[in-house]
Structure 1
Amino acid sequence: MDDVHQDIRYGAASAQLLDVYPGPPGGPTIVWAHGGGWIGGSKVDIGGYFAELARAGFNVVGFDYTLAPEALYPTPVREMLEAIAFIAAKKDEFRLAPDKLILGGDSAGANIAAQAALALVDASYSEELGTSRITRNLHTAGARPVATALQCGVYDARMMREATGSFAAVVRDMVTAYCGTAQWADDERSAFARESVLGNVSGDFPPTFISAGNNDDLTPQSKALAAKLTEHGVEVSALFFSRSARPRTGHEYQFDLSSKAGARNLSQMTEFLLACAARG
């Protein structure tokens, strides 16, 4: 896209830059946290995906956040909320709609987005994260999440500790870097464990699109979160694949839009999110 607003500073840290991919003026606004295991990745890595979302009818904000080990948990969650506060303040300049807010993310970014959504709907959770001032200001500004989009994410410390497979082992090392301790699954010692998404969601969580592939060590966490949200009465649009489905769908499969699975993901997700935004 030629009209992308790039590298707009939204905070004091050097990494705090965002891009805006314009969609329909006043249309729903997706704020998306990129993946990379909390230690890598960038908004520019998935710029093509953001452009597709803009063409589908969304204003899209992709933002960078401070990576571990330079910044530890929950800094990226706070920075996502700061990005939302920035665009809420600049809504007229960029023709955005913070009252039709969608929080999205992939992999580690899905974890960040889900926790930011929790902070926006649960005052006690926001207080524990240390983000109460930001979320109160966002409520005053009328910023309200109408949905979340969670792709291939991490949502529970205990399940992450017990996950099997070589990729899960790599992700555990990433969580250690993110938390600054190897005790990140211990409720007594770790805020990351106490504040895990799966153990804190309620019926106030926004309607959610959630997906993960059938060849991804993290998929059980997505299925568990989908089930927990449904149990709480949250509207859920889930896309999972049977173990026998071929070709197999791996971690971050949704970005391969040339594949049937990736195209199906984009279609189902955008249809669901647009419907949520229309209801307000």
Structure 2
Amino acid sequence: MKINKNFIKIILISIFTTIIIVAGIAIFFQISPWPDSILIRHTFNENGRRVSEEIEPFLPSEIGSLYDLEYIENDKDALLDVHFPDSISTTGQMLPTIVWIHGGAWVSGSKEIVANYCKMLAGKGFTVVAIDYSVAPEYTYPTPVIQGNKALDYLNKNCADLHIDPCSIIIAGDSGGAQIAAQLANIISEPSYAAKFDIKAAVKREQLLAVLLFGGAYDLNDMKLADLESSDNGFLRTVLWAYTGSKNFNDDPELISASVSDYVTDTFPPAFISVGNGNPLASQSYIFARKLAGLNVKVDTLFFSNNYKPLLSHEYQFDYKTADGKMAFGKSVAFLSSIVKNHRD
């Protein structure tokens, strides 16, 4: 049987081209955080949207909202939404205000994904603000921290129009957003920490009542020293590379300031801290809570023993259809209500 030489040539060229493409993709994964970051973003955003949709049956019926308010001029990422009880929409009433910073491992997430949870909180008598910020790898640290401070500045200056009590601010966040929230709280609480970012805190310490933190990372040095070849820490390696912009993030001096646990003092605001027992970074919350308690900062926690069942994963608090999700929500609201009451008294 005579084989067509042109056919063989085409086959060989196809094989060679495939090898080149596969090798190129493999090299790209090694020299850039982009491929893995985009995969993580897609997965996290899809899961976040699904969980958000599952909250819809529990939403309070009358919530007013203002959408896509620009807190930094000409910055497409710097938008925020404001949610509040609809009964105050036509009044000038101002409520204690929760500023929620969404999570997503610094590479994903959005204010839309946390919108339903924010509306749930608004139904308990709060004004709740969900902010968007620039994510990695398009933008690197400390961009979200700077944007967060500017969001607080915008809210402080426009409080009368947004039903915000400027003397009753609570900063909240989940996952990477909890880490950013803790940094912002410390920038407000400790001038020497704010100086590391060459910024002035947008609000005064007496305006900040508390923080609400779910599943955050507060000591990035501890994360960097971990075995980065494990499956969980392979993920951490990608997001830290993306967030710092440096593959050698272990040697990045700027990232030192992101380990907020090293900089907190007794001026840090009262904190509610929770994490699921199935979260690979659970120890970060345990250690941070102990650090704050050792400084005589008021700390309420919702932690679970290692043998608690079901095992509670990262972002367990958003799963409101479960008893544990409902408990986290209830304890969060009880903590904040107590803080607000004590402030008013």
Please list the CA deviations of residues 248-278 of structure 1 after superposition, one character each: whole Å capped at 9, or x if unmatched.
Answer: 1000000001111111111111110121122
| Equivalent runs, 1:1-280 vs 2, <5 Å | 3-12=64-73, 13-23=75-85, 25-132=93-200, 135=201, 137-139=202-204, 144-163=207-226, 166-186=231-251, 189-280=252-343
CA RMSD in angstroms comes to 1.7
Offset of residue 100 of structure 1: 0.4
Report the alpha carbon displacement of residue 56 of structure 1 after superposing the two structures with TM.
1.5
C-alpha separation between the residues in 1 aligned to 2:338 and 2:106?
31
State the TM-score, normalized to the length of structure 1: 0.93
Is the 2:63–2:122 Cα contact (8 Å) retained in structure 1?
no
SS in 2 for 1:148: strand
Deviation at 1:67, TM superposition (A): 1.1
Write the distance in 1 (CA, Å) between the matches of 2:322 and 2:232: 22
SS in 2 for 1:3: strand
Q: Please say if residues 214 and 243 of structure 1, whose CA atoms lie closer than 8 Å, have aligned partners that are also in contact.
A: yes
2:68 is paired with a residue of what secondary structure? strand
Asked if the contact 2:211–2:270 (Cα under 8 Å) also holds between the matched residues in 1, the reply is: yes
SS at match of 2:273: strand
Alpha-carbon distance in structure 1 between the residues aligned to 2:142 and 2:180:
9
- Preserved contact between residue 185 and residue 193 of structure 1 (Cα < 8 Å): no
Q: Deviations over 1:122-168 (max 9, x none)?
A: 11110101222xx1x533xx872110000000111122124566334
Is this contact kept in 2: 1:254–1:265, CA < 8 A? Answer: yes
Tell me if the contact between 1:27 and 1:57 (Cα under 8 Å) persists in the aligned partners.
Answer: yes
The 1-side partners of 2:206 and 2:145 are apart by 16
4+ residue runs over 6 A deviation: none
Change (3 A) 1:259 1:162: farther
Aligned-residue sequence identity (percent) comes to: 35
Conserved 8 A contact 2:134-2:143: yes
Instruction: Evaluate the alpha carbon distance shift between residue 190 and residue 247 of structure 1 in structure 2; reply closer, same or farther with a 3 A threshold.
Output: same
Max radius of gyration: which structure? 2
| Shift in CA distance, 37/45, structure 1 to aligned 2, threshold 3 Å | same
What is the CA–CA distance in structure 2 between the aligned matches of 1:2 and 1:262, rounded to whole Å?
21
Task: Indicate if the aligned counterparts of 2:107 and 2:242 stay in contact, CA closer than 8 A.
Answer: yes
Contact preservation (8 Å) 1:36, 1:107 = yes
| Residues in 1 aligned to 2:168 and 2:248: alpha-carbon distance in whole angstroms | 38
State the alpha-carbon separation in 1 of the partners of residues 150 and 250 from structure 2. 27
Contact 2:63 2:83 in 1 (8 A): no
Q: Which amino acid aligns with 2:255?
A: F
One-letter amino acid of the counterpart of residue 90, structure 1: N
Unpaired stretches in structure 1, ≥5 consecutive residues: none
Q: Work out whether residues 96 and 126 of structure 2, in 8 Å CA contact, stay in contact via their aligned partners in 1.
A: yes
**Residues 26, 192 of structure 1: alpha-carbon distance in 2 compared, 3 angstrom cutoff:** same
Whether the 8 Å contact between 2:196 and 2:257 is mirrored in structure 1 is no
Q: Does the residue aligned with 1:22 lie in a helix, a strand or coil?
A: strand
Runs of 5+ consecutive residues of structure 2 not aligned to the other structure: 1-61
CA 1:10–1:194: 2 relative to 1, 3 Å: closer
CA, structure 1 residues 185+273, in 2 after alignment: closer, same or farther (shift >3 Å)?
A: farther
In the alignment of these two chains, the number of paired residues is 273
CA offset at residue 2 of structure 1? Answer: 5.3
- Partners of 2:247 and 2:270 lie apart in 1 by 33
